[in-house]
Structure 1
Amino acid sequence: MKSITATLSGSRWTSGMRRMLLIGTACAAVALSACGGGGSDTDRGPTTLSVSAELNGLYWDKSESRLFLTDDAANNIRAWDGGTQFTQYAALPTAPTSGATLGQLTRTTDGTLYVTRFGFGTDGSVVGAPKTGNAYNLSGTDKLRRRIGITTTPDGALLDGWFIKGGSGAVSELKLSGTTASERELITGLGKPVGLAVVGDTIYVSDQNTGNVLSYSLAKVRATPATLADGKVIATFTTLDGIDLMTAASDGTLFFGGSGGKLFRISPKGETSVVASGWPKIKGVAYDENHRRLFVAVGAADAKSQPSVRIVPID
């Protein structure tokens, strides 16, 4: 598929010429719109969408059949509906002197998107972007905390992962009151918690420092905060893997990549497999369960290329 706009192009890998011709004809007829989103012609990939952006977090909203992503370069949240480009969804509050440093995205039931700012030890924060109105910084949070992962719980609460340089990391629950939040630590003693997901009563957290992916009971850590030692190690990765942001399917299957360019899957039984490898640095991931496809934010391979969002079929 040829380039559509200056900011987005689609390239397609296929296993057979017949499939390539059929998909190419359909996509050319509708300028790609039938190949994304949520119709019967949904593009399950493998597909590469080049994006003129500095990518990090991704979030798939199944109710809207819409992909959201963070762009550090523009300090905004962008959206993709399966069409020809990633459009601005929300401009974020002015970035601090440390930079935009946007992390994972998540969404609460009222439609507000929340994204972390890493902040480099001076400007760590959580930003809210409501469906209507301007985005805002949550007040009441500790700016010293370097924030990366964020996710929702089944009852609508927010959890975020953070660490302090030279100290330790934790997972906290954020209690919201309008645009103000208070933080309560649920899991402490972590190194650098990056990936965070919740399925049912289980919290999954990946620690980039140790390479471990751990699980905890949400109900138990709410009743009595836990430590690193209380977690169940379900998989371990190497320093070279550089595991990063995480997403989960409803059955507890976990997906994530890392700086080593590998895309991983952990089954509900704890079996680890490599979905793809040999890519540039992988950052955020988002899973469209209805169409069994994974969206992956991939960094640029070199100065002459662009970052991309890759669509990967999951079978």
Structure 2
Amino acid sequence: MHMNLGTGSHRIASGLRRLFVLGAASALLALSLSACGGSDDDIDRGPTTISLNAKLNGVYWDPDESRLYVTDDSANNIRSWDGDKNFPVFAPLPPAPTSGATLGQLTRTTDGTFYTTRFGFGTDGAVIAVTKDGKAVNLSGTDALRRRIGITTTPDGGLIDGWFIKGASGAVSELSVSGDKAVEREIITGLGKPVGLAVAGDQLFVNDQNTGSILSYSLSQVRKQPATLAQGKLLATFTTLDGIDLMTAAPDGSLFFGGSGGRLFRIDAKGETSVLASGWPKMMGVAYDAANRRLFVAVAAAAADAGSQASVRILPVN
């Protein structure tokens, strides 16, 4: 009897030691994953509102850095999110013209260069390049009469921008950059006011704010042979009250965008439209974090509320 009790106690003690070792190893693994960003526990999927003193426009989520960048009209710069509540300056931009900063969408190519646009009100339209170390320059060779808002990258590292001239039609162009110079070649013509641009695979998406239309084109085809408004595949139509603005695409081709009407929309890969949020102030840029299935939305300060601030809102996407 004594021997049996001793053997049982030995087995229990050995089991406890194994459990302790396994538990300690698991704790160390969890700590390591958390430190490397491998745990979802510290990822804010929202809904969250981060208020900041800024005039927001473009928004870009960098999946390699796991970092959000925004353009700020009020300070004429690009800011980055620290993952909590702050947006320190990443890079000041070239001095704003007399028409104002008027920044548009923000995108980034594989070499780490950011690109954003200036609307310019028909006198100061431009494209700005910002290197990964924060050096900014206005690209020469682009027509200052063109009012630019949207700009996006393509899977092969190209750049697409949209523009219009007041009283005339608008277009989407492929932007070829060499050093500090750029050349625009029209690939879609006959548009009214192309604002939002997005690319997923071979699909090039354009929203025309004048008509409220969301259109889809084959990127490879329009590169070979320029298309017109009428040749685009119509995905959805919205009202002028919706005021659809900048948009982004998920890898499967789902589109996300908001507008001046205070509603946030999704068009899924099947072409079905849904409202993700409503009752918000005016929305401009949107960015999608595919790894964590969340959306970042740049929301303007509520005009009717004295002292209100702009915000970045985080929304889970399931």
Could you say whether these structures have the same fold, taking a TM-score greater than 0.5 normalized by the shorter chain as the test?
Answer: yes
Paired amino acid for 2:308: S
What are the ranges of 5 or more consecutive residues in structure 1 without an aligned counterpart?
1-32
- Aligned mates of 2:315, 2:72 — CA distance in 1: 21
Percent identity over the alignment?
74
Q: Which has the higher helix share?
A: 2
Paired amino acid for 1:204: F
1:139/1:236 Cα in 2 relative to 1: closer, same or farther (>3 Å)? same
The residue aligned with 1:112 is 113
- Aligned mates of 2:310, 2:151 — CA distance in 1: 22
Paired amino acid for 1:314: V
Give CA-to-partner distance per residue, 1:4-36, whole Å, 9 cap, x none.
xxxxxxxxxxxxxxxxxxxxxxxxxxxxx99x9
Per-residue deviation at 1:303?
2.6
**Is residue 2:310 matched to residue 1:307?**
yes
Per-residue deviation at 1:37?
11
Structure 1 residue runs of 4+, over 4 Å off?
36-39
Kept after mapping to 2: 8 A contact 1:211/1:236: yes
Report how many aligned residue pairs link the two structures: 282
**Is residue 2:62 matched to residue 1:61?**
yes
**RMSD, aligned α-carbons:** 1.5
The residue aligned with 2:294 is 293
Q: State the secondary structure of the residue aligned to 1:285.
A: strand
- Aligned mates of 1:307, 1:97 — CA distance in 2: 23
The residue aligned with 1:223 is 224
The residue aligned with 1:134 is 135
Taking structure 1 as the reference length, the TM-score comes to 0.87
The residue aligned with 2:258 is 257
**Is residue 2:103 matched to residue 1:102?**
yes
- Aligned mates of 1:58, 1:84 — CA distance in 2: 16
- Aligned mates of 1:199, 1:84 — CA distance in 2: 30
Kept after mapping to 1: 8 A contact 2:122/2:165: yes
Kept after mapping to 1: 8 A contact 2:90/2:134: no
What are the ranges of 5 or more consecutive residues in structure 2 without an aligned counterpart?
1-33
Per-residue deviation at 1:132?
1.9
- Aligned mates of 1:144, 1:299 — CA distance in 2: 26
Paired amino acid for 1:169: G
Give CA-to-partner distance per residue, 1:251-284, whole Å, 9 cap, x none.
0000000000000000111100000000010111
Q: State the secondary structure of the residue aligned to 1:304.
A: coil
Equivalent runs, 1:1-315 vs 2, <5 Å: 40-132=41-133, 134-301=135-302, 302-315=305-318
Kept after mapping to 2: 8 A contact 1:45/1:312: yes
- Aligned mates of 2:282, 2:41 — CA distance in 1: 32
